């Protein structure tokens, strides 16, 4: 007898809540542990009609991401134009990219002509999901590009690289703008296309690509640079200006001098901490032993230790230098 009831507790029945028009209850279910229930609650909220919009818009400020995602989904299926302003706010400035993405898609679902400017600026978002969502939403509202620039951003958002190549020179500006992209694979792709377009600005971007933190992007930049007319003899010099992404050689040396072992830890050697522990324990023990001659003698262990750590620091210096030179 109690068994089915337990099951019912685990998987709440959205139908009952829908019949009772218990919007708050449904909203609570949006953060349910069971994914399926979340989804059914979002769908049920979508059938509540325009009356629910104002309450849903208020919940949009909720700190819980699952609830906000569900509310955005519901607003997308209610399609009340009153929700546009709130969704545009999320799209423009929310820091969670998932929510911006969902907001872009929802604006496309509502499908009002006024949403186009917001979606166009979302095409320039830093997150690829948001850009992709904005491009798809623009398709949905029946938008067609008026300027070459918008068209270029649209294709970049869809990652339709062939179409961008066909745009030629007019894509240069948007492509350069997107070089700040977080994903190295996308930066590498952009550099390659810029190389095939050629010209003054792409050439500058290729030179900038030589200093990219990612090895693959630098390599593509080398290949593209020669096509853009950067003299081959300048390439090694350009590469040498890249940021050292690895650990600093001097940092490791200094750390090992003052805290023997921590420098190794900083360089990514797991046994660094082992050495650090041993070293510190020895120092503390020595200090306690010498404590009758306090306070001057507290420093005695260090006076003995520093020449020793200096030797290790020297070794660390050469080790770190060798490791940082390994990859171009």
Partner 1 sequence: MVDLSALFGQKKADIKKLTAAKDISGLIRALHSSDMNTQSEAAKALGSLGPAAMDALIRALKKRGKVIRLVIIQALTEIRDPKSVPVLIETLKDESSEVRWEAAIALGEIGEPQAIEPLITCLRDHDKYVRLGAAFSLARIGWKPPNDEEKAFLFVGMQEWKAVQLIGNSAIPALTNILHDRHSNVRIRAIEILGELKSTQATPALIQSLADENSEVRWKAVLASPKCGIKLMHLPRGLSRRPKLKKNPLIAGFLNFMIPGVGYAYIGKWWGVMIYEVDIFATVWAFKFLGEEFTYWTLLPLDLLLALHAYYITTKMPEPSI
Residues found near partner 1 in the complex (CB under 8 A): 35, 38-39, 42, 65-66, 69-70, 72-73, 76-77, 95-99, 101-102, 105-106, 108-109, 127-129, 132-133, 136, 182, 255, 259, 262, 265-266, 273, 276, 280, 283-284, 287-288, 291, 294-295, 298
Distance of alpha carbon 328 from alpha carbon 320, whole angstroms: 15
What's the min distance (Å) between Cβ of 139 and partner 1?
Answer: 10
Per-residue tokens: 206: 């290729």
Q: Cβ distance 245 to 213 under 8 Å? A: yes
- The nearest distance, CB 328 to partner 1, in angstroms, is 24
Q: Which is nearer to partner 1, 182 or 244 (CB)?
A: 182
| Least CB distance to partner 1 at residue 109 (A) | 6
* CB closer to partner 1, 135 vs 210: 135
Write down the least CB distance from residue 185 to partner 1, Å.
Answer: 8
Structural contact between residues 174 and 153, judged by C-beta atoms closer than 8 angstroms: yes
Helices 84-93/97-110 angle, 10° precision: 150
Token reading at 183: 């994903």
Nearer to partner 1, 97 or 170 (CB): 97
Q: Which two tokens stand for residue 41?
A: 């609650």
Give the shortest CB-22-to-partner 1 separation in angstroms: 21
Closest approach of partner 1 to the CB of residue 106, in Å: 7
The SS3 call for residue 79 is coil
Q: Which is nearer to partner 1, 124 or 136 (CB)?
A: 136
- Which CB atom, from 95 or from 162, has the smaller least distance to partner 1? 95
Give the residue from 274, 120, 110, 216 showing the smallest Cα distance to 264.
Answer: 274
Residue 123, helix vs strand vs coil: coil
315 vs 57: CA distance, rounded Å: 62
Q: Nearer to partner 1 by C-beta: 95 or 146?
A: 95
Shortest distance, position 129 Cβ to partner 1, whole Å: 5
* Nearest residue (CB) to partner 1, 3 versus 35: 35
* Shortest distance (Å) from residue 118 CB to partner 1: 17
Least distance (Å) between residue 112 CB and partner 1: 16
251 Cβ neighbours under 8 A, 6+ residues apart: 263, 266
Residue 187 contacts residue 161 (beta carbons within 8 Å) = no
For residue 299, the 8-state DSSP code is: G
**Token pair of 232 as six digits:** 């081959």
CA–CA distance, 156 with 168 (Å, rounded to integer): 13
User: Tell me, what DSSP letter sits at residue 80?
Assistant: -
Q: What is the DSSP letter of 293?
A: G
Furthest C-alpha separation in the chain: 86
Q: 20 vs 216, which CB is nearer to partner 1?
A: 216
Nearer to partner 1, 13 or 34 (CB): 34
CB atoms inside a 10 Å sphere around CB 127: 17
């Amino acid at each position: 007898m109690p068994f089915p009831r337990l099951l019912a507790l685990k998987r709440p029945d959205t139908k009952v809540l829908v019949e009772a028009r218990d919007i708050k209850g449904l909203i609570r279910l949006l953060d349910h542990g069971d994914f399926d229930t979340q989804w059914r609650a979002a769908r049920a909220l979508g059938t509540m009609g325009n009356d629910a919009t104002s309450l849903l818009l208020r919940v949009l400020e909720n700190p819980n991401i699952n609830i906000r995602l569900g509310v955005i989904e519901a607003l997308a299926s209610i399609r009340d134009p009153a929700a546009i302003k709130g969704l545009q706010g999320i799209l423009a400035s929310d820091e969670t990219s998932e929510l911006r993405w969902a907001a872009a898609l929802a604006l496309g679902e509502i499908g009002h002509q006024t949403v186009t400017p917001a979606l166009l600026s979302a095409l320039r978002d830093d997150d690829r999901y948001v850009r992709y969502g904005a491009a798809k939403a623009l398709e949905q509202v029946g938008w067609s590009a008026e300027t070459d620039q918008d068209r270029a951003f649209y294709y970049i958002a869809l990652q339709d690289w062939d179409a961008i190549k066909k745009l030629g020179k007019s894509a240069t500006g948007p492509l350069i703008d997107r070089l700040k992209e977080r994903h190295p694979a996308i930066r590498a792709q952009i550099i390659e296309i810029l190389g095939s377009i050629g010209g003054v600005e792409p050439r500058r971007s290729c030179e900038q690509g030589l200093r990219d933190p990612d090895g693959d992007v630098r390599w593509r930049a080398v290949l593209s640079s020669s096509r853009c007319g950067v003299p081959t003899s300048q390439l090694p010099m350009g590469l040498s200006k890249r940021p050292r992404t690895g650990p600093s050689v001097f940092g490791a040396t200094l750390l090992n001098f003052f805290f023997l072992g921590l420098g190794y830890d900083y360089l990514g050697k797991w046994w660094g901490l082992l050495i650090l522990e041993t070293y510190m324990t020895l120092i503390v023990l020595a200090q306690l032993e010498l404590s009758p001659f306090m306070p001057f003698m507290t420093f005695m262990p260090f006076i003995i230790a520093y020449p020793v750590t200096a030797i290790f620091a020297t070794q660390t210096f050469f080790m770190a230098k060798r490791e940082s030179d390994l990859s171009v």
